[in-house]
Structure 1
Amino acid sequence: MTAPIAATEPYALFRAWMAEAEASEANDPNAMSLASCTPDGFPSVRIVLLKGLDERGFVFFTNKQSRKGGELLANPRAALAFHWKSLRRQVRVEGAIEEVTEAESDAYYATRPRLSRLGAWASQQSRPLSGRAELEGALAEAEARFPGAEIPRPPHWGGFRLLPARLEFWQDMPFRLHDRRVFHAAPGGDWRIETLYP
């Protein structure tokens, strides 16, 4: 029988679960659902990849002129959900959104493959596209514009950090008597912990 969740600090627990996911999940263990809100109040969700975690929060990168970028800039609150099916675990995170520093965005952008960096210039993310040829043409223009190894980060491309106010860890248990532990951010950097009914 799986042991109940006993951790008292959420980041250490998340890192431990992520390490297990990286060892067992076949594809993108860092995939997470990102929920934002449209200007008229409807939830909007998509899958993105977690690219960083520090004592401040969870980091991901995108075109800030995309639909999600616009939603996050207009209403800087969001939620994340990680689901590792083979491990029968889920983590939900809710909190405020902040933009990462220019230096953080530059550092991550520099690690991306060349075509991914060119794609950040070529793609008008979330806008209508007449066909694949239009995108390929824009990519060819970006390649001609930046023929060398140096491809600067587009000004509209960068990162966001979700600053957790609430983290919930869910673990499958026999007979649907699941284990749920919630960490609430408290003043002074402490965490208030509660356990929920399944």
Structure 2
Amino acid sequence: MYLNDESKELKDIAIDESDVGPIVAALQMVFLDSLLQASQEIREYQIHTLCPIQLHEGILKSDTTNTYINSWYHNGFSTHGLIDNYIYQYGIDLDSIGNNQYKYKSKIGINYMALASELKKLPFVLDATSSSCIGDGSQIEIIDNTSDYIHLIYSYGWGDCPAGCIKRHYWEIGVYGSGIVELIAESGNNLP
């Protein structure tokens, strides 16, 4: 369930920097703390967030004879006002991947699910989706955050992760605005 403000953000294409800043700061603190011997496991197993590709590309289907899509593919602009606004605002390029499908991608991370939703409203776009991840792996989940505290859970997955990790180990971490990083709990399967 989402609050009204949160559900609005799900539809925004741009990612609000105020949402990103505290998370980046927390991850920087976790990284600095990971230089300590006590955090050897995080370095050894390369705990990281999943699927940065989801912030940088999507797939759309359109008739290959459509002049807007052809112009975008060949010239870098579409001559359609809304699409050109997205192209210029988010730096979106288009590549053909065959069968009336195109991969659209940006250099900056944006909400591709919201962009796909907007593109699907255009009569000449047959379908649009965000790129999806294949498989499973290590993850970072934000449990809670305030202006001076972020609660994270890092998980390391292994064992047939392309189909969905069979085993998983967790580290629950609190990052304080003062720079203190606290290991709250550790659980899950024994590390390999």
TM-score (norm 2): 0.32
For the pair shown, the structure with the greater C-alpha radius of gyration is 2
TM-score (norm 1): 0.31
